[in-house]
Amino acid sequence: MNPLIMLTTLQYSVAQFIPGGDWIIQLIFYLFFFIFILYGQKIQMYVMIREVQGSLYRLKYIRDEGRKITIETINEIGKPQSDPTPRVDRFLEYFTISPQSLDPAGIVWKLEHILNIRDARFKDEVKLMAPSADKTQAHNLENTLEAAMALNYIYKIIRHFYLLGKKTLSLYVIMQLQMVLPLVMREAEAYASALKAFAYGQPIGDGAGALVAASLMHGHETRKIPEDCVVATVQIEGRSAFVIKAEGPGGNVGKPGDAIKTIIEENEGKIANIIMIDAALKLEGEPVGEVAEGVGAAIGGPGVDQFKIEEAILKHRIPINAVIVREDVGDAVSPMRKEIFDAVDKAIERIKQVILEKTKEGDKVIIAGIGNTIGIGQ
Amino acid sequence: MQEASSDRTRVSPYIWLLVIITVAISLILLLLALQEITSEQKDETLATYLLLAGAVLLGSAAYAMIQTRKRVFRAKIESHPIMTTIECKKCGFKSTREFQRGDYIFKESERCQKCGNPTIIAAIYREVKEKEKKRFTS
């Protein structure tokens, strides 16, 4: 039924039931009309604010849970002499200032230096917080603290824009926040999941590349190479493959850039091919654990390692291939899904195929498994 | 921590007030509808509208309450069971158990239940049941 006819009928009926009812209904109708004309936007904004507030409560809960898990893990593993809570709280507020990019020449080395200082600082802090933790546990604690820091940062940013929107009553601030919130919440939930995985030392989705390398090098002799990486020489299809991964099973990504450069220099640039395996973000609709192949340096992070690898391969004109395992951002930082684990065999098959097609028998190749090697030995 | 838990379980007093007012209005409308139906000079059209308006308001109040409860319920971090698969190097016998702290892939584990040879942790993973129907996947 037409709402106007309904309203007229209702008006007629109320007029019969209550003396002067038609007048009341008309008044209500115009009242609603003017309220929505004049305050419609404000009402919409208050609805949005309520929605953002709900998400902010959830973010606060996730942040506090993350902090609680971190402190519990430090107490359990590190056996500190004093309460680590104040130190953890201070650590959560740590920040890193990226180098000035007005003159971009040489920025990679500046960024690397800053990141090295940051890593050293993290290691020192963890040593002070958890003196009884061994190397693997210390790596895991570093990762746990980083996840807790990320959760704290997300919460504070969202809270900032929420309060700013409320203070200025700006629809556009609130609207932008409300629009981006579903993605932010997904990321926060992924970090919360990652935090648990790091605290327990469980392998995460990002370790798909490291797991492929570990599967190839398992049972072979390994040696340490800079920085925080291991290499094993494995015979694959009659070729000598230098299989590289970060040293596990502690939470560690190593510096594959330095590792690949070292192997290239050790072999005087006589490397027939480099194959990099990494986890890559999938698009919605693509299945988790799908293996794809391409060219280029498959490595994420701030870009320092990718830069170093590209410099080294350019110097010696070495072809580079990439094999990726697709997963979404949540899967990348949460405990490894079975689909990703099952993709390891498919990735190895693909690597062998690339080796057969692109190299000759007796050639030397580098296979680098990129990613966080938490919960993955060698 | 205490503050956080009270935050997530707290339902705004304004929402409570709104729900109470809505329920009260809906009950009045439903009573009026009942009165109209039972009266001698009954007007069926008015009774229907009153009934309809009462039901809609009551439904809205219930929906608001369910949504609020849902928000409180959702305030927990989802966790899936993590499984560890142990495999015998010699006979290939596989067994699966829940993940324990200290487990890692390729770690030497306990002796094989079948042949007594050393075993290794062959896999650590979580299984996720897909909620969505698979559409446009190819």
List pLDDT tens digits, range A342-360. 999 999 999 999 999 999 9
Cβ neighbours of B75 in A, within 8 Å = 57-58, 61
pLDDT at B1: 39
Answer yes or no: are the C-beta atoms of B81 and B98 closer than 8 Å.
yes
Mean pLDDT of chain A: 90
pLDDT at B4: 43
| Residue A207 clears pLDDT 70, i.e. is over it | yes
pLDDT at B38: 84
Which of A64, A341, A375 is opposite residue B4, by nearest beta carbon? A64
Contact B8 A248 (CB under 8 A): no
Q: Which CATH superfamily is domain A205-369 in?
A: Peptidyl-tRNA hydrolase (3.40.50.1470)
Closest by CA position to A334, among listed A279, A287, A297: A279
Contact B46 A203 (CB under 8 A): no
Report the chain A residue with the minimal C-alpha distance to residue B46: A13
Dist CA B83 CA A116 (whole Å): 35
* One-letter-per-residue 3-state SS of A299-353: CCCCCHHHHHHHHHHHHHCCCEEEEEEEECHHHHHCECEHHHHHHHHHHHHHHHH
pLDDT at A50: 85
pLDDT at B85: 92
B46 vs A340, more confident: A340
Contact B104 A376 (CB under 8 A): yes
CB-based contact (8 Å) between A220 and chain B?
A: no
Average pLDDT (A284-311) is 93
pLDDT band at A115 (very low <50, low <70, confident <90, very high): very high
Average pLDDT (A209-221) is 94
Report the chain A residue with the minimal C-alpha distance to residue B15: A50
pLDDT at A341: 94
Dist CA A61 CA A172 (whole Å): 26
- Positions of chain B with pLDDT lower than 50, given as ranges: 1-8
Tell me the shortest Cα–Cα distance from A113 to chain B, in angstroms.
32
Cβ neighbours of A376 in B, within 8 Å = 104-106
Report the chain A residue with the minimal C-alpha distance to residue B105: A376
Domains of chain A: which residue ranges? Answer: 50-200, 205-369
Dist CA A288 CA A204 (whole Å): 14
pLDDT at A15: 61
Tens-digit pLDDT profile for residues A190-199 = 888 888 889 9
pLDDT at B73: 53
Which of A61, A201, A338 is opposite residue B75, by nearest beta carbon? A61
Rg of chain A's alpha carbons, rounded to an integer?
A: 28
CB-based contact (8 Å) between A167 and chain B?
A: no
Distant-in-sequence, close-in-space partners of A204: CB < 8 Å, separation ≥ 6: A194, A197, A198, A332, A333, A334, A335, A336, A372, A374, A375
Distances (CA, A) of A250 to A178, A376, B9: 38, 8, 37
Answer yes or no: are the C-beta atoms of A96 and A118 closer than 8 Å.
yes
Tens-digit pLDDT profile for residues A121-130 = 999 999 999 9
pLDDT at A14: 61
Tens-digit pLDDT profile for residues A132-145 = 999 899 999 999 99
Tens-digit pLDDT profile for residues A10-22 = 666 666 656 555 6
Least confident of A51-55, A146-150, A364-368, B11-15: B11-15
Amino acid at residue number B29: L
Answer yes or no: are the C-beta atoms of A100 and A141 closer than 8 Å.
no
- Residues 275-334 in A contacting B (C-alpha not used; CB under 8 Å): 285-287, 334
Q: What percent of chain A has pLDDT over 90?
A: 69
Tens-digit pLDDT profile for residues A296-306 = 999 988 899 99
Q: Which two tokens stand for residue A338?
A: 């079975």
Contact A62 B137 (CB under 8 A): no
A281 vs B8, more confident: A281
Give the residue from A12, A200, A282, A328 with the most B CB atoms within 10 Å of its CB, the best one to mutate: A200
pLDDT at B5: 45
Cβ neighbours of B36 in A, within 8 Å = 17
Average pLDDT (A169-176) is 89
Average pLDDT (A220-243) is 93
pLDDT at B6: 47
Q: For B82-126, give the CATH class.
A: mainly beta
**A75, exposed or middle or buried, with CB in 10 Å at 0-12, 13-18, 19+?**
middle
Report the chain A residue with the minimal C-alpha distance to residue B45: A13
pLDDT at A62: 92
pLDDT at B2: 40
